[in-house]
Structure 1
Amino acid sequence: MSPVARPEARQRLSTRAGLFLLAVLTLVFFRGVVFGERLFTVDFHLTFQPLREVLGRALSDGFPGWNPHLSNGVPLAANPLNAAFYPLNWIFRAVPAATGLTWLTLLHVLFGAVGAFRLARRQGQFTPGAFTTATVVAFGGVAASATAYSNLCWSASWLPWLLLGLDRLSRPEPDERPWRSQLLVAGSVLALSLLGEPFVLLGGALGGGLLLLETAARERPRPAWRTALPFLWPVALGLVLALPALLAYLDYAPHSVRGAGFTHEGVTLWSAHPAAFVDIALPGVYGEPALQSFDGATGYWARALVADKGYPLFAGTYVGGLVLALAVIGAATGRGRWLLPTWLGLLALLALGRFGPFTWLYGMPGLDALRYPVKWLVPALLPLALLAGRGVDRVERTAVPTGRAPLAIALGVTILVIAGVSMVVQLPAALDALAGEAIAERAPVRAAVLRATLRGLVPSIVALTLVYFALVRPAPSPRAARHRAQWTAALLALLVGVDLVQANARLAPTVGPGFYRDVPALADAIVEDRPPVQRIAVARPRGVNFVRDPIYAEQARGQREALVGYTALAYGLDLAFGPDTEALHPLRYTQLQV
């Protein structure tokens, strides 16, 4: 093998090893699924599993145009929540909904991780940096929490591929065929349109727009239209291919509650309170959102941050102090260094909703149909991941103790130490304000805050300190310095991946197949009674006892027993009124219900 070919072969081997390890971590993260269990949290079992059961039955009868089992008949294919035009959903004609949704979610997470890996490699990151990018995209707290919402999780998996195609078009390599990049962009736009999740689609459009601006600035004085054309026509092709679905959505939307628009309070109901961002570095610092209650010792105690709901939309947002420090290092390096921080910053400000500077946007026509600004955090995970990967890459390229990386790492350690001390000292003093009421038993909450602080910051501080001393320690030769930097970067990447899998796997718990297979007594009684018109209305149960371990399980079983949400549809029953009146139910029928 020639000296020139040897580095290329080593890079290919490194890339394959990174992808293999990424697949292994995905299987470890979803180990319950591997052993035959099913996902079930929140809307996964309350909404998506019942609706996919209905979709499967409709597909067996032909074209899934109508759902006769909800609200005395509603459009099925025209409701983007059903994603009936998305080809992978057609498996529900033959596969049970819970099984299909679970495995498709796992595959989408892995698919998105591979796309993020490829995107990072395309942007010049070595394998450790690309691996870091992929693990943050796949196993970050928001991504893990989004597995409960199939529309968000599946859409997010296409976002890295969209940006990969756009990046290829902005900087084509001599040996690349443009039509492949154009088809990748068109296919990603098609998939995002069919899945019908506006926050991810618009978040990707924002990132693509910034990339276009960066390309136009770089190619001056070339006419702007000539710069934009290679970007825009693949996007237009994807939208044209999605026209059957888009026309159906647009035709039905004006007749739905969402098409009528919401009040500003309704749109911004789940906004990201600035204090809630503490959970990004300290996992579970505000208690356990999964329990959706607080009994004085367990549950989500910072209810003032989500006063209207009592619990956050996403059960966790943790990425860790190590990832945040690496992202800060990455923000100061790399080509187009303003692009990723700007994209991330805009999405974070949008996620603030009523707490941020863009609250006025949600009162504008069209945008008043976008509920819950906190969903902007889903696309925001990609630029954060790319910045963290770029930070690892910067460490690997620092073969000698010069430059900004050691100084940036030392600064990061200092900031994390100050943040940890501040949390331990200041947060307990604000317990009542964050809880929105006086907490009688303060000791358990203070202990939880201390545990979260130690769990979130100490490993990051230790890891960064070791990296700092590894970089500044004199090496016997330049080659030894390069090898040390490479091994340090690889260790950093592995620490990030293991930490995220260990901390956030709890956000995507699983249950045995009997959870979906066993028919609740209430549903069985209704079926046995066989009334002339088999319509039922379901109210939220009261007095359900929640337990901490396993997360959600007892709560979810109580919801299934009481047929909360859409669960009655999963057992062959009909719902006279939709349980989510603010979604896409017919406007006139919802007015009748009210």
Structure 2
Amino acid sequence: MRPDPNSVSRSRPSDCEMTRRNVVLFWLATPVAIILLLGGVLSGRDRLAFRDVSHFYIPLYQYVAERCHDEWLPLWNPLDQTGIPLVGETTTAVFYPVRYVLFSLPTSASLAVAWYVAIHLVIASLTAVVAARAMKVGRPASMLAGVMYPMSGSIWFLYTNPPYLVAAAWMPLVMAMLLKSGGDDRGKRIVIGGSAMAMMILGGDPQAALHTMMLCSAVMIWRLIRRTVTTASLAVLMLVPMLAACLSAPQLAASLSWSNQSDRVSPDLEARRFTAPIVGGKRHQAQQYSLPPWHIAELVTPNAYGSMLPVYRRLSRLIPGDGRVWTPSIYLGMLAAIALLDRLLRLRSQRIDAPLGIAIASLALASGHFGLVWWIQASTGVMSQVDSSVGGPYWLLYQFFPGYDSFRYPAKWLTFFSLAVAILSAQWLDAGRWKFVKFSLRLVAIVLASGFTVVLYLGWFWLPNHTATPLPFDVFWGPLDFVGGLKEIRISIVHSVIVLLAIRFLVRWSAARHWTRAKTAEVFCLLTLLDLSMVAIGNTYTVNVASEDRLLSSATVERPDGVHRWMRTQADGGWPEIWQRSADEDRLLEVEVSQRLSWFGRWHLTHNAAVLNNMVSIDSKSMAVFWNSAKIDSQSMLPGQRRSHWKQIRHRYRVDGVIHSNDKSAVVDAKSLQLVDVAFWADQPIKQETRQGQMIIRPVYQDGHWTARCRIDDDAAWQPIAVQSHDELMQSTTVPEGMGEVEFRYRPWWLVPSLAVCVFAWMISLLLALRVCTVSGKHRRLSIS
């Protein structure tokens, strides 16, 4: 006897009850998964490694925290080059509240960075849910966006570049407030959206804030054409960036002041828009980290081309034009691939909405120099002298959008692609489209089968016939391991097949059991969380803190005392030549220790040492001109003349210490770990200030905000004197006769007015927030009564 379906439905929890369960699940599942995946670094046992998070931001944020502890508002950084504005270099995030609080705690910088990353991944999850809800996704299905967005390859791997992760964490909240339609909550949207955009700017990535406004403005223009936009939404679109600018006024003022002197805003010497860019030139640098079209395969399998490290197995390196890798994978989960494919197959019946439009536009922009001309070049071999980006959306932005040529790296658009696909997938789940995905499942299965066939062919037929073909190598990770790369791709495809089968099983099982939408959303979210967690484990690179400390202590390098400023030099690449010839599972540890020993990036900041030619986020035009002229002048010199040339430069800028590394290596323990061969040596100390008559010359960069004053003695009044640029990297001032004391001060003109605007804006925002909360509370009580 079959049961009465009505009695069965009455015995199940209601959709409302399941919704509450989903809310609890969301609040716990995704944050817990993030904490568990980062458990090693959050406990202090390991630290995050690889790229900028290690050699750039750990020492930088430690230095900023120390400066903030010693003075209420540090403005000048004397340890990088001949000095640069500390606040003006936006990535320092001096004003960002989360950085300030975390790094003021009595913990190590590496542990603080780990929690910094984890907190922003959790924020990204929360804001993605808000964005999905703003797009009218039901509460249970919106959980999927909260899982998919922070765990996607494009967002998770931003742990290697914390300022971009901060912007990615707050960006969904801004887009939710800007694109939300309907309702009478204009004030709430302005306050929340403006505050979130201010966090993006204060956290160190104003470019992401600009990208957000560009995309949202495009959506609003489309809605305006279709007459579906309200006056309130247009007001929010205008007032949110205005409020954000006021809330972050000191950071914006400092950044604009410094960026006006950046080498990125210098005129492009390549005047023609259609000619191929000069390698190393401004256009060439701007197009780095473009997403090649063949990496779309990563939507259906996470590791479609093999890994980069610690053993070099990235087989896409063999494809001409693959370029530098921004993220190991753009994978968002198998469910995202199915949802996106199903949505594209229904373009005729359903119009392009905001999430799909943003996904298509951002992916096209992320392709960078792979423009229309590139497709012609790749298919026909003609037009080789034409810029490959011509005809592409990134080329249009770079050439015609005012000021956009000062930005770079097209792959920064991938964060918007990840968010759009996550929301699109949540919409797809909410609409119940998972019940009708047989065709999409079959297409994905065919793609995976085709990929597996190609891998088998390469391993069984191609490889035996090309064993003598020289393979490329990486200066850090060694020669390309072709066999190992094929194995990793096979494992990745098997992973995708298992998830695909699980989805197919859940589709059939949920239909047979008549699951509610809430329960279906819950199960699919858990499956996606498991899917993406497995991928995130392989894309999180860490080193053991104890092992690193042991190697550092065993490879101690003597550093002379009394050095005012250092300069890094290298011979034959500067890294151990053995790294290129051999592979080692411990190579990441070797690289990290070697970078610390040689003060690569900004590790010199941990020793409170100044370096003339260190790495910074934004170089000044003066520094670029100096190095270009210095290198050009030295190229035509004989060895003896070249040594004298660089010695004069060191003396001129008071560089009395040299850090030199070469391609030799040192064995440091029984396992034969290879570290860089680095040596520190010092010249005779050089006097800091030089007097030529009444002129004082200082090896300090003049960005326009250095002032000076002088007086005869302690009882006399101060007299202001002008400070000017002496050359590209130094400043000078002329002291009147009889003056015995001179004082130099860094006083940016924008500091007081921007702080006043900022304080006033935050006070107004807090008052508006209190008013919004009060009105919302009244409405809630009235609705209950």
The separation in 2 between residues aligned to 1:308 and 1:488, in whole angstroms, is: 40
1:410 partnered with 2:438: yes
The sequence identity of aligned pairs, in percent, is: 18
1:137 aligned to which of 145, 149, 153? 149
Moved more, 266-275 or 60-69: 60-69
Which is further off, 154-163 or 441-450? 441-450
Paired with 1:421 and 1:335, the residues of 2 have a C-alpha distance of 30
**Alignment match, 1:461:** 500
- Which of 177, 180, 184 matches 1:165? 177
Give yes or no for contact 1:200–1:378 (8 Å, CA) kept in 2: no
Corresponding residue SS for 2:306: coil
Select which of 450, 466, 469 maps to 1:422: 450
Q: In structure 2, do the counterparts of structure 1 residues 592 and 214 end up closer, same or farther at CA, with 3 Å as the change threshold?
A: closer
Post-superposition CA distance 1:357-393 (Å, at most 9, x none): 2242334562222222112112221001111122222
Q: Which residue number corresponds to residue 421 of structure 2?
A: 384
* Gap runs ≥5 in structure 2: 1-12, 269-280, 372-391, 472-479, 629-785
Find 2:203's aligned residue among 187, 195, 206. 195
Matched, 1:584 2:618: yes
1:208 matched to 2:216: yes
1:373 to 384, 398, 410: 410
Decide which structure has the larger Cα Rg and report it. 2
Cα contact 1:40–1:510 (8 A) shared by 2:
yes
| Inter-partner Cα distance in structure 2 for 1:252 and 1:442 | 46
In the alignment, which residue of structure 2 is the partner of 1:340? Answer: 355
Structure with more helix by fraction:
1
Structure 1 residues 538 and 58 mapped into 2: Cα distance closer, same or farther (>3 Å)?
A: farther
Kindly report which structure 2 residues correspond to 1:326-365, keeping only aligned pairs within 5 A, or say none.
326-329=339-342, 338-356=353-371, 357-361=392-396, 362-364=398-400
Answer yes or no: is 1:300 the counterpart of 2:329. Answer: no
Q: 1:522 to 1:584 in 2, by over 3 A?
A: farther
C-alpha offsets along residues 483-523 of structure 1, whole Å, 9 cap, x if unaligned? 3x543332221111111011112222333444776794699
* Residues 551/526 of structure 1: CA separation in 2 closer, same or farther (3 Å cut): closer
The CA deviation string for residues 251-292 of structure 1, in whole angstroms up to 9 with x for no partner, is: 11121222326522111121111112223322223221234x
Q: Partner amino acid for 1:406?
A: K
* Match of residue 263 from structure 2: 257
Deviations 1:34-82 (A, max 9, x none): 4333322211011111211221232133222111111021111111121
The answer to whether the 8 Å contact 1:306/1:312 transfers is no
2:86 match? 76
Q: In 2, are the aligned partners of 1:544 and 1:555 still within 8 Å (CA)?
A: no
**2-structure distance, mates of 1:312, 1:469:** 39
Work out whether residues 541 and 562 of structure 1, in 8 Å CA contact, stay in contact via their aligned partners in 2: no
Higher strand proportion: 2
The residue number in structure 1 matching 2:241 is 235
1:447 paired with 2:487, answer yes
| Structure with more contact order per residue of length (Cα contacts < 8 Å, sep ≥ 6) | 1
Other-structure match for 1:561 = 597
For residue 19 of structure 1, what is the aligned residue in structure 2?
27
- Encode CA deviations 1:412-467: one digit per residue, 9 max, x unaligned: 111112101221234666889xx9x75597544433332222222x0232023224
Q: Give the 3-state SS of the residue equivalent to 2:291 in structure 1.
A: coil
For residue 167 of structure 1, report the CA deviation from its aligned partner: 4.1
- Secondary structure, aligned partner of 1:511: strand
Where 1:578 maps in the other structure, the secondary structure is coil
Deviations 1:3-24 (A, max 9, x none): xx98656534431232222222
Distance, in Å, in 1 between the alignment partners of 2:172 and 2:393 is 26
The question of 1:39 aligning with 2:58 is answered no
In structure 2, the CA distance between the partners of 1:306 and 1:381, relative to structure 1 (3 Å rule), is: farther
Letter in 2 for 1:340: P
State the shift of 1:471 in Å. Answer: 5.7
* Greater Cα offset, 38-47 or 501-510: 501-510
More displaced 10-residue stretch of structure 1: 191-200 or 545-554: 545-554
**Amino acid of the structure 2 residue aligned with 1:346:** A
Per the normalisation by structure 2, the TM-score is 0.65
Superposed displacement of residue 338, structure 1: 1.7
Superposition pairs of residues 77-96 of structure 1, within 5 angstroms: 77-91=87-101, 92-95=103-106, 96=108
Q: Paired residue for 1:571?
A: 607
Query: Is contact 2:557–2:597 with CA below 8 Å preserved after alignment?
Result: no
TM-align CA RMSD: 3.3
* CA separation of 1:78 and 1:127: change in aligned 2, threshold 3 A: same
* Aligned positions of 1:510-529 closer than 5 A: 510-514=542-546, 520=552, 525-527=557-559, 529=560
1:116 is matched with 128
In the other structure, the counterpart of 2:716 is none
Q: Distance in 2 between matches of 1:525 and 1:556?
A: 15
1:100, 1:255 → 2: CA distance? 32
Residue 152 of structure 1: aligned partner: 164
| Partner residue, 2:309 | 290
3-state SS, counterpart of residue 431 of structure 2: helix
Q: Give the one of 23, 29, 36 matched to 2:37.
A: 29
CA contact (8 A) 1:126 1:393 kept: yes
Structure 1 gaps of 5+ residues are 396-403, 474-479
Residue 481 of structure 1 aligns with an amino acid whose one-letter code is H
